[in-house]
Structure 1
Amino acid sequence: MKWFDPDRGTGLISQEGTGPDIQAESKAIRGNGPRLRPGDRVLFDLTHDSAGLRADNIHRPEDARSQDGPRQQSDEQTLR
């Protein structure tokens, strides 16, 4: 996570220098809720809509292992 404001329910995910920042909204976070902090590594599904790029199904890698078992990296983005 580049930043996340839980009061506003929005933030940005940085692609570690490989592309534009991705919009993140609290409604797209699964797992432990909107408790993401700058520097947290997250997995998400990338969606393009009329507002641009946004992240859906946002979760920490450890949340994916504990709830669903090991995840395939090919269908998700791993960014912060």
Structure 2
Amino acid sequence: MSPCGIVKWFDPDRGTGLISQDGTGPDIHAEARAIRENGPRLRPGDRVLFDLTHDSAGLRADNIHQAEDDRSQDGPRQHGDEQTPR
């Protein structure tokens, strides 16, 4: 099973951001080229799944994609927001 987390921030101009892991663990560096969805963009509050890679710069997220429960949500959410069923 892939690790899951919440996008803390993502700068589309620079193509980099940070993902906060669910549970414990350090924040994970995210790059636009690792996003599997259409367009290299993540929004703060997006719930994502990813593969962890350890390289010379530390931990990095690869194969980033939106979690299934996030695909039906409209607009960005902030970390900690409650999700209400539609």
| Fold agreement, TM-score > 0.5 | yes
Distance 1:30 1:20 in 2: 22
Residue by residue, what CA displacement relative to the aligned partner does 1:2-31 show, whole Å, maximum 9, x if unpaired? 110000000000014511100000000011
Q: Which has the higher strand share?
A: 2
Pairs aligned (count): 64
Q: TM-score, normalised by structure 2?
A: 0.68
Distance 1:53 1:32 in 2: 24
Indicate the RMSD between aligned Cα atoms, in angstroms.
1.8
Q: Residue in 1 aligned with 2:19?
A: 13
Q: Residue in 1 aligned with 2:4?
A: none
Q: Residue in 1 aligned with 2:38?
A: 32
Q: After TM superposition, list the pairs within 5 Å mapping 1:58-77 onto structure 2.
A: 58-62=64-68
Which structure has more relative contact order (CA 8 Å, sep 6+)? It is 1
Q: Which of the pair has more CA radius of gyration?
A: 2
SS of the residue aligned with 2:21? coil
Deviation at 1:53, TM superposition (A): 0.1
Deviation at 1:51, TM superposition (A): 0.5
Q: TM-score, normalised by structure 1?
A: 0.72
Any gaps of 5 or more consecutive residues in structure 2?
1-6, 69-78, 80-86
Any gaps of 5 or more consecutive residues in structure 1?
63-79
Structure 1 runs of 4+ with >4 Å offset: none
42-51 or 31-40, larger mean C-alpha shift: 31-40
SS of the residue aligned with 2:50? strand
Residue identity opposite 2:42 in structure 1: L
